[in-house]
Amino acid sequence: MTKELQNQQIILAKRPSGMPAAEHFSFQDAPIANPEDGQVLIQTLYISVDPYMRGRMNDEKSYVTPFKLNEPINGRIVGKVLQSESDQLQVGDNVVGMLDWKKYNVTSASNVRKIEETGAPLPAYLSVLGINGLTAYFGLLDIGQPQKEETVVVSGAAGAVGMIVGQIAKLKGTRVVGIAGTDAKTDFLKNELGFDDTINYKTTDDISKAIAASCPNGVDVYFDNVGGPISDGVMNHLNDFARIPLCGAISSYNRTDGDLGTRIQPKLIKSRSMIKGFIVGDYSDRFGEGMRDLSTWLAEGKLNYRENIIEGFENVPDAFLGLFKGDNLGKQLVKVAEE
């Protein structure tokens, strides 16, 4: 079978300094090996593009290894098994896992997880029922520990993680304020997801004042997806014993200057607050619990989500680059082939 297929891959052609661009990626034809014992051949259906991948384009120590120059980019993919040399997976199974940006991957069956039929559409396994949903779930509930009637602020609120954070926080009985960058996004958060208030940071002169107005009782939990000046503003309004799950700092990822801001230590001391960086993989032994709750809420209609699906393997780099323009509402995916 592998002989009939035309494979293509996207490699890291250059390392960016600052904002990444099309020139940092390159398309190549690629061979397909015959699956060996224990391996499967997987056709890529959906590719997830995520802000954290920007960090992997740098050649520096982090929680994930850097992408290698002239080798394929690697990320979350939903695919279908076309050929199986493993008794763990059957032809026709849908799977999710960390795979190369290729139209076809040959990999060990244990590298991917079979998607069981739950009625949820396949792309959901790259968003609300995938890493994004689990990130929201564990960051908010384990680190943020929102209590009834507290105030929860979410930055990057219309992003794939932020919109789930806000909805879980509402399910826990809190007041939720979302920060996003367009009126379309803030309208969506208020009208479709039930956020109590929103701030459009692009049309707001003073984030700190806007937070004061939106959070008359101060901030108890700040789920931070963005860092930078937005977070500087929120930090002025922490209540005593506030908790700050630190999920991302997209405003810093492409900066080549010093990323200077007012030091937050004095504010953390005054309010005895806690801030903690995390990645979802830190909770891998509890994914079952998270998936159970997220699936239940989704099935009960308590979780709304939004995906922005572009078609075509050739558009994967553009979809990734779009993440840093602040345009995307919800999860950005690329559909590569029909299910």
Mark residue 38 as left, alpha or beta (left: phi above 0; alpha: psi -120 to 50; beta: remaining).
left
Minimum gap (Å) between residue 101 Cβ and a second copy: 23
Question: By three-state DSSP, how is residue 302 classified?
Answer: coil
Nearer to a second copy, 77 or 242 (CB): 242
* Residue pair 22/41 in contact by the 8 Å Cβ criterion: no
Q: What is the CA radius of gyration of the chain?
A: 21
In terms of CB distance, is 56 or 185 closer to a second copy?
56
d(CA 199, CA 215): 11
Contact 61, 257 (CB under 8 A): no
The first and second tokens of residue 15, run together, are: 């390392």
Of 33 and 269, CB closest to a second copy: 269
What are the angstrom distances between the C-alpha of 227 and each of 46, 69, 176, 224? 29, 28, 19, 6
H or E segment at 247? none
- CB within 8 A of 68, min separation 6: which ones? 12
CB of 218 to a second copy, least distance (A): 10
Nearer to a second copy, 127 or 225 (CB): 225
Distance of closest approach, residue 60 Cβ to a second copy, in angstroms? 9
**Nearest-approach distance from CB 182 to a second copy, in angstroms:** 23
Give the binding site for a second copy (CB under 8 A): 55, 61-63, 224, 227-228, 231, 240, 246-249, 252-253, 258-266, 268-279, 282
Closer of 85 and 282 to a second copy (Cβ): 282
Find, among 70, 115, 83, 118, the residue nearest to 97 by Cα.
Answer: 115
Nearest CB to a second copy, comparing residues 13 and 279: 279
CB of 186 to a second copy, least distance (A): 23
Least distance in Å: CB of 90 to a second copy? 37
